[in-house]
Amino acid sequence: MKRLLAYSSIENIGLIFTGIGLSILFAASNLHLFAALALAAALIHALNHSLFKSMLFLATGSVLHATRQRSLGKLGGLIRSMPWVAALALIGTLAIAGLPPLNGFVSEWLLLQSFLYTPQLPHAFINMLIPLGAAALALTVALAAYVMVKFYGVIFLGKPRETLLAQAHDANWLERIGLAWLAAGCIAIGVQPQLALDAAGKSTGMLVGQTIAPNPSVWRIAPIAPEQASYSGWIFLAVILCTIAVTFLLVRLLAHGRIRRTAPWDCGYPWQTSRMQDTAEGFGQPIRHMFGAFFRMERELPAPTDLTPKYRVHIEDRFWRALYQPIAAAVKRLADAISFLQGGRLAIYLLFSFLTLLGLLVFVL
């Protein structure tokens, strides 16, 4: 559970660095306005990330506390026993999945906006590569949404996978408040991103000498120019809520509100148990299937005749092995190679100092 969130942190840090990198590129080409935009996106995303990530960590903490269960595969259906945590965690989940009108969307939107202006960079080659970067970004964000649906769905929705879970108690007041103010932050920045933009504008003003274009109104943000792109969290929230309310009223007025509780339909299959739901692994199966090339997978699938069917899958990241491990090993080797510099002998240290002095003296001569 926490592992998933930790990986998600890496993803978000990646997004932040994407923004910073773009900003440096823009700044180096003297496109200060766009540099400011990309930087603001990165900064706001950092803020947002701290908000929703700490919120989700707290929420998993509450779940852990209530259920003593760390594994995603043994949770489920907590929305019924822990409605408060579930409701607040939903906000965090939607925010981290980058959905409007919450805060995660705002920063990702700004980041995509700054990607749009890359064609103005004076390097034709980079220009052609960067749109692919934007696509990768979109893919990442959408994939994050996928994973967060899995995260939320497996923990809070469905049927409890263990019988004990039904007795899980909801968070106490203190925990609720802790979660609630973070959720409030997510919503506030989502619908009123001007707050964050103004704050970020100060930093960008300091760093790239340019703030983002002043906002046309308090109701929406338009980082470059209102004709080019704008976004209003207020309208999003307001219209959706109004429509929901109006529709609800109309449905109530025009149709009857009768409800019959029955067993789940599930295409008429009556013998379902909680074990028939997707597990976290099951939910992620399409991704494993599609990105199979990137992983090293060992699978043990049950044969149709097995009396005790067993399913096991072990996944290893190929990139980890092929890319990061060699780099890490190289860094380690280099670090070992230079360790003689700190060999413990004072005489050698003095010699370094001596040689440095002589070298510099030769240099100035």
Q: DSSP class of residue 275?
A: G
Q: Applying CB under 8 A, which part among 96-104, 168-176, 179-187, 302-310 lies near another protein?
A: 96-104
User: Of 312, 112, 95, which is closest to residue 190 (Cα–Cα)?
Assistant: 95
Look up tokens 């007041």; give the residue.
Answer: 173
Q: How far is the CB of 217 from another protein (least distance, A)?
A: 9
Site for another protein in 177-206 (CB under 8 A): 199-200, 202-203, 206
Question: In angstroms, rounded to a whole number, what is the distance separating the alpha carbons of residues 2 and 62?
Answer: 12
Binder to another protein among 255, 293, 303, 307 (CB under 8 A)?
A: 255
| Interface map 139-168 toward another protein (x if CB under 8 A) | x-xxx-xx-xxx-xxx--xxx---------
Enumerate residues 6+ apart whose C-beta is below 8 A from 112.
Answer: 134, 137, 138
Residue 85 touches another protein, criterion: CB under 8 A: no
Residue 206 neighbours by CB distance under 10 Å: 9
Q: How far is the CB of 205 from another protein (least distance, A)?
A: 9
Binder to another protein among 85, 89, 94, 191 (CB under 8 A)?
A: 94
Residue 251 touches another protein, criterion: CB under 8 A: yes
297 phi, psi to nearest 5 deg: -115, 135
Site for another protein in 284-313 (CB under 8 A): 284-287, 289-290
Residue 90 neighbours by CB distance under 10 Å: 16
CA distances from 314 to 58, 150, 317, 332, 364 (A): 29, 19, 10, 28, 61
Residue 253 touches another protein, criterion: CB under 8 A: no
User: Of 202, 219, 28, 231, which is closest to residue 112 (Cα–Cα)?
Assistant: 231
Q: Applying CB under 8 A, which part among 178-186, 232-240, 296-304, 311-319 lies near another protein?
A: 232-240
Binder to another protein among 7, 123, 218, 248 (CB under 8 A)?
A: 248
258 phi, psi to nearest 5 deg: -70, 140
| 173 vs 269, beta carbon nearer another protein | 269
Q: Applying CB under 8 A, which part among 16-24, 167-175, 181-189, 305-313 lies near another protein?
A: 16-24
| 71 vs 285, beta carbon nearer another protein | 285
Q: How far is the CB of 196 from another protein (least distance, A)?
A: 10
Residues near another protein (CB under 8 A), total:
139
Residue 3 touches another protein, criterion: CB under 8 A: no
| 261 vs 310, beta carbon nearer another protein | 261
Site for another protein in 114-143 (CB under 8 A): 115-116, 119, 124, 127-128, 131-132, 134-136, 138-139, 141-143
User: Of 12, 14, 39, which is closest to residue 24 (Cα–Cα)?
Assistant: 39
Residue 276: is it exposed, middle or buried by C-beta count within 10 angstroms (0-12/13-18/19+)? exposed
